C-alpha cells in the first residue's frame, strides 16, 4: 500500500524532473539570443561566400583575350549522364598549318538537366570547363536555363591540342 | 423500454452487442501526409484509433534508377545512387564503387579507404541528426527539428568544402574519391567533433529522458528478433531487436577493420530501443572519426582506372552499412561499358514492410513514432 | 470626465452618465453594450494578431531562429499580412460536407472566448461582467468552444477531422474537471466566486504566496489542465499535425481557418488571464502584508500593466511547454487526468479546506 503510494509520488516527481530538464535546454537558448544561427539570406548576399569546391554550374573558362581552351572533343558530352551538354562543332581552317580543324560553334549547357555530378569536369582533357560557385539559378522562363557557354566571338587558345 | 433492455442484454445472448458494435474503417495516410516524409501511402485499417492493418503502397516516387543504370557507364551510375537514400548518399556511392572495384580487382590506396570511412561516418552522423530532429517533430516537439538541423549544418559545411555539395555529393568514383580532401578538412572535422560532443548530451536531456517521450516509445511497436530477421530488417532498427546485422562488423569494407568500435545491439525490440541504438551509434561514429581523422595516410586519392571501365563478365555483390541498414549492390556485367543489370537491395524497402507486424494493435500516434524509428526515406524505398 | 489609469470606475460611470444624458435610458444601455462589444471585438482581433506574432517569435528564439523578420520592423506586421492573405483566400467547402454545420462551427468556436472575455477583470473598474458567480460562468462558458470543434470535425466529412474532433471532445470533458477543481481550491480561501472579490481578497498578497502549499499544487494542476483544455502543445492531440495532418480544421481555409486560429489564441489568453486573476491577484499590484512603503511603491505601476504583465508571464510559461515537449498519446492524456491530476486535486481541496479551517494560510 505505502509502497504503491511511494511509487506513485516518485513517478510524478521523476516525470516532472525530466520535463524540467528539457525546459532547461530550450530555456537556455531562449535567454541566449547570441546562439541564434539564422542567416538572413538576401541581406547577407555581399558577405556570403560559397566554398571554392562548391558546384553551382558549369562554366567555360575564358581569359581576358576572350579565348577558351575547348577543342570541341565532346569528352564532356559523353561523360555527362544526363545529356546536359551539347557541343555543336564546326570545321575551320587553321591559319598556321592551313589544315581543316574542329572548333566549337556553340557549347550548349542545359542547366535544368544538370545534377552537378562533376563528371564533365573530370573528363575534360584540356581543363576548359570548371564548376562556378553561383547558386541563384531561379529564372522566370525555363528557356533561360539553356545556356550557351562560349562567349560570342571567342576562339580557342593557341597551342591547345586534342 | 424493451428495446433498451434488449440492447443491454444482447451482449450475453449473441456475444456482441449491437449498441457497441464497431465498424473498421480505412484511412489513407499519404501520399501527402506530414509524417510519411515523402510520398509514401499507407492504407490503414482502423478500429477507432487502433490500427488493425497497415498496407504500404509504394511507387509514387519511382524513378527506375536500376533501369537507368543499365544505360550508364560505371562512373555515371554512382551519381544516380545519390538520389536513392539521399541522407546516406556517400554510403550509396561507396557501395557502387566497391562493387566496381571488386569487379576490377582493384586495390584502392589506404588514403581512399580512410577518407571514405570518415565521410561515411560523418554522413551517418548527419543522417542520425536529421532523424533525431524529425523523430522529435513527429512526436510533436518541433524544437528538436531545428536543433537537429543546427548540428547537421556543421557536417554539411564540411561536405561542401571537401566534396563540393551539401547533400548529393557524388564524392566517390570507381577507384577512389573525386578530389583530395580540402586542407581545412581535418581541422573542421575536429572542430565539429568538439562541438558535437557538447551538443549530444542535449539530445538526451531534451528527448531521451523526457517522461512523455519515454511513455510514447517504450513497449511500442514490438518487433521480435525472429520477425526482424524474416523481414530482413537491418540497420539500427534490426539491431534494436537483437539482430546483429552490422555490415561494418560482419563484412568489413574500407577502413572499418582497422578501427575499434562497438556494434550497438539492444534487446528492447521497441521504438525506444530503436531510438537508443541510433543515439548510441552517434557516439560510436564520433569515436570512429576520432580514431581516423589524425591518421589519414599520405598517398593517392584515386587508383588509376581506365577512362572506360569494363567489368569482366560475372556477377558482383557488395554490401555496405548505410544509416538505415544494409544496402546491397548487385551488378551483372557482360563485358560492356555499362552493366547488364544492377539491383539495389535497399534497407528502407525491407524495413518498411515490417511496419504491419509492428503496428497491429497500437494507435495512430504510435504508428507515427514507429515510422520515425524505422527512419524511412521514401526515395530509398522506391528507387 | 475624470480619467485615471489606476481606477476606471469613475471613467466608465461618467461615460454611462454622458450616454443617459443624450439618449433615453433603454437606448443608452443598448448603445453602451454596443460600445463594449466593439471594444472587445477590436481587443480580441488585436490580441489574436499580437499573440500569433509573439508566439512565432518566442518559438523562434527557443529554436535558435529569428522568426519573422521581413514584414515591418522585426516582422511586426507579419500577422497582419497573414490575415490579409487569409481574407482574400477562397473559402473552400469540401464536397459532401454538411455545409450549414461546416460554416456554423467556425463561428461557434469564436463565440465561447468572446463570452468569457467579458468576465475578465482587466483593471479596477475595467470589467464588463462582474457576476457574483463569475468564476463559475467562465468555466461553464469556456467549454462551449468544444462544440464548435466537434461540429467542425463532424461536418468536414474527413476521417482525420473526425478523429481530431473526438480526441478533442474526450480531452476537454476530462480536463474541465481538474481546471474547475483547482480553481475551487482557491475559492475555498476567498469564499466568493465573484472575480472582483477574488482580486480584492489578494490586496495583502497573492494567493499563490498566501495559500500555503495547496495553492502551489493547485496552480500547477491549473496550468497543466488548462493547457490541455485549450488544445495547446503538448496536448494538441486534436490538431496533431504529424498524425492527423491538421485535425479538426483540416478542411478549413481562408477566413474560417482564421477564426479557428483566432479562437485558439483568445482561449490561450483567457487561460492566462484566469490563472493570473485567481492565483496572482489579477490587476492587484504585488503587496506584502502591511508594509506600507513597499505596497505604495508597487501601487505606482498601473493595474492594467500588472494584469498584462502577469498574463504575459503565464503565456510565456505555456509557450515554453509547447516548444519543449513531445505530444502525449490520447490514452496517456486521459491517464494523466484521471490517474494523476484529478485525485491530486481532490486531495488538494481537502488539504486546502484544512488549511482554511485552521487558518494556516496568511
C-alpha cell recorded at residue C73: 520592423
Distance from CA of A18 to the nearest CA of B (A): 5
The reply to whether residue C64 touches residue A38, judged by beta carbons under 8 angstroms, is yes
- The closest CB to that of C243, out of B35, B143, B213, belongs to B35
Beta bridge pairs of residue B330: B317, B343
Domain boundaries, chain A: 2-35, 45-156
What is the least distance, in Å, from the CA of C282 to any CA of chain B? 32
Q: Mean per-residue pLDDT for A33-40?
A: 83
Residues 301-320 of C with CB under 8 A from A: 320
Report pLDDT digits (tens) over C164-196. 888 888 888 888 888 888 888 888 888 888 888
Residues of B whose CB is below 8 A from C160: 27
For residue B120, what is its C-alpha cell? Answer: 561515411
Interface test with C, best of B365, B367, B373 (most C CBs within 10 A): B365
Rounded distance between C-alpha atoms, residue C110 and residue B66, angstroms: 55
Distance from CA of B136 to the nearest CA of C (A): 7
Residue C100 contacts A, CB cutoff 8 Å: no
∠ at Cα A83 (A77, A89), nearest 5°? 40
Chains that touch B (3 or more CB pairs under 8 A): A, C
Spell out the alpha helix ranges (H) of B294-353: 347-352
The neighbour count for residue C111, using CB atoms within 10 Å, is 15
- Closest approach of chain C CAs to the CA of B113, in angstroms? 37
What pLDDT is recorded for position C331?
Answer: 84
| Residue C318 grid coordinates | 505555456
A15 in reach of chain B (CB within 8 A): yes
Residue B7: predicted pLDDT? 44
Residue C21: C-alpha distances to residues B71, C11, C24 (Å): 92, 15, 8
From C304's Cα to the closest Cα of chain A, the distance in A is 26
Going by CATH, does the domain composed of A45-156 fall within 3.40.50.1220?
A: no
The C-alpha atoms of residue B222 and residue B239 are separated, in whole angstroms, by 13
Q: Are the beta carbons of B170 and A37 separated by less than 8 Å?
A: no
* Mean pLDDT, rounded, for C7-22: 77
Question: pLDDT for C230-253, tens place per residue?
Answer: 888 788 887 777 778 777 888 888
Mean of pLDDT values over A144-158 = 81
Q: Tell me the average pLDDT across C158-162.
A: 84
- Cβ separation C64–A36 shorter than 8 A: yes
State residue B20's pLDDT score. 66
Residue C88, pLDDT > 70, answer: yes
Of B170, B179, B205, the CB nearest to A25: B205
Of all residues in chain C, what percent carry a pLDDT higher than 90?
Answer: 0
What Cα–Cα distance (Å) separates residue B223 from each residue in B47, B322, B328?
Answer: 21, 21, 23
- Whether B363 sits inside 8 A of C329 (CB atoms) is yes
- A36 lies within 8 A of chain B by CB: no
**Residues of B engaging C, defined by a Cβ cutoff of 8 Å:** 25, 27, 33-35, 49, 136-143, 145-147, 150, 206-207, 210, 212-213, 215-216, 363-366, 368
Domain segments of chain C as ranges: 91-358
Q: Which of A23, A37, A40 sits opposite C64 (nearest CB)?
A: A37
Interface contact A1, partner B, CB < 8 A:
no
Q: Please state, in angstroms and as integers, the Cα–Cα distance from residue B111 to each residue in A52, B298, C119, following that order.
A: 22, 6, 74
Q: Are B66 and B340 in contact (CB under 8 A)?
A: no
What class, spelled out in words, does domain B55-382 have in CATH? mainly alpha
Which grid coordinates are listed for B169?
555529393
Q: Which residues of A touch B160 (CB under 8 A)?
A: 50-51, 53-54
Residue C347 contacts A where some CB pair is shorter than 8 Å: no
Q: Which one, of B166, B134, C156, lies nearest residue A51 by Cα?
A: B166
Q: What is the pLDDT of residue B18?
A: 53
Enumerate chain A positions whose Cβ falls within 8 A of a Cβ in C. 12, 19, 22-23, 25-27, 29-30, 33, 35-38, 40
Query: Which residues in chain A belong to E strands, given as ranges?
Result: 57-60, 67-68, 85-93, 100-110, 129-132, 146-148, 155-156
Residue % of chain A over a pLDDT of 70: 94
Query: Cβ of C247 under 8 Å from any chain B Cβ?
Result: no
| Cβ contact C242–B213 (<8 Å) | no
| Chain C residue at shortest CA distance from A34 | C64
pLDDT tens digits for range C274-323:
888 888 877 777 777 677 777 777 777 788 888 888 888 988 888 888 88
Residues of C in contact with A30 (CB under 8 A): 58, 61-62, 320
Contact B363 C331 (CB under 8 A): yes
Q: Does B178 touch chain A (CB under 8 A)?
A: yes
Confidence at residue A140, expressed as pLDDT on a 0 to 100 scale: 92
Evaluate whether C243 touches B364 at the Cβ level (below 8 Å).
yes
Give the one of B140, B145, B212 whose C-beta lies nearest to C236's C-beta: B140
C-alpha cell at A113: 538537366
Phi/psi at B326 (5° precision) = -90, 120
Q: Is A24 on the interface with B (CB under 8 A)?
A: yes
- Burial category of B368 from C-beta neighbours within 10 Å (exposed 0-12, middle 13-18, buried 19 and up): buried
Nearest to C62 among A12, A30, A37 (CB): A30
Q: Is B162 on the interface with A (CB under 8 A)?
A: yes
**CB within 8 A of B274, min separation 6: which ones?**
B221, B236, B237, B240, B268, B373, B374
Inter-helix orientation angle C212-229/C303-322, to 10°: 60
Q: How far is CA C184 from CA B49, C116, C212, C342, C354, in A?
A: 34, 18, 15, 13, 14
C-alpha cell at C10: 469613475
pLDDT lower than 70: segments of chain B: 1-20
> Where in chain B are the domains?
55-382
ipTM surpasses cut 0.85: no
How far off is chain A from B348, nearest CA to CA, in Å? 24
Q: For an interface test with A, give the residue of C57, C59, C61, C321 to mutate (most A CBs within 10 A).
A: C61
A53 interfaces chain B, CB cutoff of 8 Å = yes
Pairwise CB contact (< 8 Å): C62 & A29: yes
Maximum Cα–Cα distance across chain C: 68
Residue C362's pLDDT is: 67
Q: Is C115 on the interface with A (CB under 8 A)?
A: no
Distance from CA of B222 to the nearest CA of C (A): 17
Contact A27 C63 (CB under 8 A): no
Amino acid at each position: 500500500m505505502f509502497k504503491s503510494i511511494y511509487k506513485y509520488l516518485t513517478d510524478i516527481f521523476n516525470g516532472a524532473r525530466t520535463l524540467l530538464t528539457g525546459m532547461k535546454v530550450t530555456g537556455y537558448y531562449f535567454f541566449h539570443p547570441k546562439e541564434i544561427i539564422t542567416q538572413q539570406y538576401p541581406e547577407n548576399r555581399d558577405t556570403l561566400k560559397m566554398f571554392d569546391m562548391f558546384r553551382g554550374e558549369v562554366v567555360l573558362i575564358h581569359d581576358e583575350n576572350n579565348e577558351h581552351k575547348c577543342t570541341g572533343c565532346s569528352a564532356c558530352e559523353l561523360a555527362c549522364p544526363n545529356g546536359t551538354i551539347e557541343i555543336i562543332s564546326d570545321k575551320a581552317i587553321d591559319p598556321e598549318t592551313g589544315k581543316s580543324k574542329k572548333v566549337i560553334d556553340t557549347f550548349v549547357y542545359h542547366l535544368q538537366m544538370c545534377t552537378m555530378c562533376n563528371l564533365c569536369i573530370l573528363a575534360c582533357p584540356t581543363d576548359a570547363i570548371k564548376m562556378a560557385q553561383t547558386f541563384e539559378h531561379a529564372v522566370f522562363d525555363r528557356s533561360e536555363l539553356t545556356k550557351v557557354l562560349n562567349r560570342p566571338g571567342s576562339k580557342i587558345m593557341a597551342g591547345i591540342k586534342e | 423500454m424493451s428495446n433498451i433492455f434488449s440492447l443491454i442484454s444482447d451482449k450475453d445472448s449473441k456475444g456482441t452487442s449491437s449498441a457497441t458494435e464497431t465498424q473498421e474503417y480505412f484511412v489513407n495516410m499519404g501520399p501527402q501526409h506530414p509524417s510519411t516524409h515523402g510520398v509514401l501511402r499507407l492504407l490503414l485499417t482502423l478500429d477507432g484509433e487502433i490500427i488493425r492493418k497497415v498496407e504500404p503502397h509504394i511507387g509514387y516516387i519511382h524513378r527506375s534508377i536500376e533501369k537507368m543504370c543499365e544505360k550508364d557507364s560505371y562512373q555515371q551510375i554512382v551519381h544516380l545512387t545519390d538520389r536513392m537514400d539521399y541522407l546516406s548518399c556517400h554510403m550509396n556511392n561507396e557501395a557502387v564503387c566497391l562493387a566496381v572495384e571488386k569487379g576490377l580487382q582493384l586495390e584502392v590506396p589506404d588514403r581512399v579507404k580512410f577518407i571514405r570511412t570518415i565521410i561515411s561516418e560523418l554522413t551517418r552522423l548527419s543522417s542520425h541528426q536529421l532523424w533525431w530532429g524529425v523523430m522529435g517533430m513527429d512526436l510533436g516537439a518541433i524544437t528538436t527539428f531545428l536543433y537537429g538541423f543546427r548540428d547537421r549544418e556543421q557536417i554539411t559545411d564540411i561536405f561542401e568544402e571537401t566534396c563540393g555539395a551539401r547533400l548529393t555529393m557524388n564524392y566517390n568514383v570507381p577507384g577512389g574519391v573525386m578530389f583530395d580532401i580540402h586542407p581545412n578538412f581535418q581541422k573542421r572535422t575536429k572542430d565539429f567533433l568538439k562541438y558535437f560532443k557538447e551538443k549530444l548530451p542535449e539530445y538526451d536531456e531534451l528527448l531521451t529522458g523526457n517522461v512523455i517521450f519515454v511513455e510514447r516509445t517504450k513497449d511500442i511497436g514490438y518487433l521480435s528478433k525472429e520477425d526482424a530477421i524474416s523481414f530482413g530488417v537491418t540497420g539500427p532498427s534490426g539491431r534494436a531487436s537483437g539482430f546483429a546485422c552490422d555490415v561494418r562488423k560482419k563484412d568489413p569494407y574500407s577502413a572499418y577493420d582497422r578501427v575499434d568500435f562497438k556494434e550497438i545491439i539492444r534487446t528492447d525490440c521497441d521504438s525506444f530501443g530503436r531510438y537508443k541504438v541510433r543515439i548510441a551509434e552517434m557516439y560510436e561514429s564520433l569515436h570512429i572519426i576520432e580514431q581516423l581523422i589524425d591518421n589519414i595516410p599520405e598517398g593517392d586519392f584515386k587508383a588509376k582506372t581506365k577512362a572506360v571501365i569494363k567489368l569482366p563478365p560475372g556477377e558482383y555483390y557488395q554490401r555496405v552499412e548505410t544509416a538505415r541498414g544494409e544496402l546491397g549492390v548487385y551488378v551483372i556485367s557482360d563485358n560492356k561499358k555499362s552493366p547488364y543489370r544492377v539491383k539495389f537491395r535497399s534497407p528502407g524497402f525491407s524495413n518498411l514492410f515490417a511496419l504491419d507486424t509492428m503496428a497491429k494493435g497500437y494507435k495512430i500516434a504510435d504508428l507515427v513514432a514507429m515510422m520515425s524509428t524505422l527512419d524511412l526515406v521514401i526515395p530509398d524505398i522506391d528507387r | 470626465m475624470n480619467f485615471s489609469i489606476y481606477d476606471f470606475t469613475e471613467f466608465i460611470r461618467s461615460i454611462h452618465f454622458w450616454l443617459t444624458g443624450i439618449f433615453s435610458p433603454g437606448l443608452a444601455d443598448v448603445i453602451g453594450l454596443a460600445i463594449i462589444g466593439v471594444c472587445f471585438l477590436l481587443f480580441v482581433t488585436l490580441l489574436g494578431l499580437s499573440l500569433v506574432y509573439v508566439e512565432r517569435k518566442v518559438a523562434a528564439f527557443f529554436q535558435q531562429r529569428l522568426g519573422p523578420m521581413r514584414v515591418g520592423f522585426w516582422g511586426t506586421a507579419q500577422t497582419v499580412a497573414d490575415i490579409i492573405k487569409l481574407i482574400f483566400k477562397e473559402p473552400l467547402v469540401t464536397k459532401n460536407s454538411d455545409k450549414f454545420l461546416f460554416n456554423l462551427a467556425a463561428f461557434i468556436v469564436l463565440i465561447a472566448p468572446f463570452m468569457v472575455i467579458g468576465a475578465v477583470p482587466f483593471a479596477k473598474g475595467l470589467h464588463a461582467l462582474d457576476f457574483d458567480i463569475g468564476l463559475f460562468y467562465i468555466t461553464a462558458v469556456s467549454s462551449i468552444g468544444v462544440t464548435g470543434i466537434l461540429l467542425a470535425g463532424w461536418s468536414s466529412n474527413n476521417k482525420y477531422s473526425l478523429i481530431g474532433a473526438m480526441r478533442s471532445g474526450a480531452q476537454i470533458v476530462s480536463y474541465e474537471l481538474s481546471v474547475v477543481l483547482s480553481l475551487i481550491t482557491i475559492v475555498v480561501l476567498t469564499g466568493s466566486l465573484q472575480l472582483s472579490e477574488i482580486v480584492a481578497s489578494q490586496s495583502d498578497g497573492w494567493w499563490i504566496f498566501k495559500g500555503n502549499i495547496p495553492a502551489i499544487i493547485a496552480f500547477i494542476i491549473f496550468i497543466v489542465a488548462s493547457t490541455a483544455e485549450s488544445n495547446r502543445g503538448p496536448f494538441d492531440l486534436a490538431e496533431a499535425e504529424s498524425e492527423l495532418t491538421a485535425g479538426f480544421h483540416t478542411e478549413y481555409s481562408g477566413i474560417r481557418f482564421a477564426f479557428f486560429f483566432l479562437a485558439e489564441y483568445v482561449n490561450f489568453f483567457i487561460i492566462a488571464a484566469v490563472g493570473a486573476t485567481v492565483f496572482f491577484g489579477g490587476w492587484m499590484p504585488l503587496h506584502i502584508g502591511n508594509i506600507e512603503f513597499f505596497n505604495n511603491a508597487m501601487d505606482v505601476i498601473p493595474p492594467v500593466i500588472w494584469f498584462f504583465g502577469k498574463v504575459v508571464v503565464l503565456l510565456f510559461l505555456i509557450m515554453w511547454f509547447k516548444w519543449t515537449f513531445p505530444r502525449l498519446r490520447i490514452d496517456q492524456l486521459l491517464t494523466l487526468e484521471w490517474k494523476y491530476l484529478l485525485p491530486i486535486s481532490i486531495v488538494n481541496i481537502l488539504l486546502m479546506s484544512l488549511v482554511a479551517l485552521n487558518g494556516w494560510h496568511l
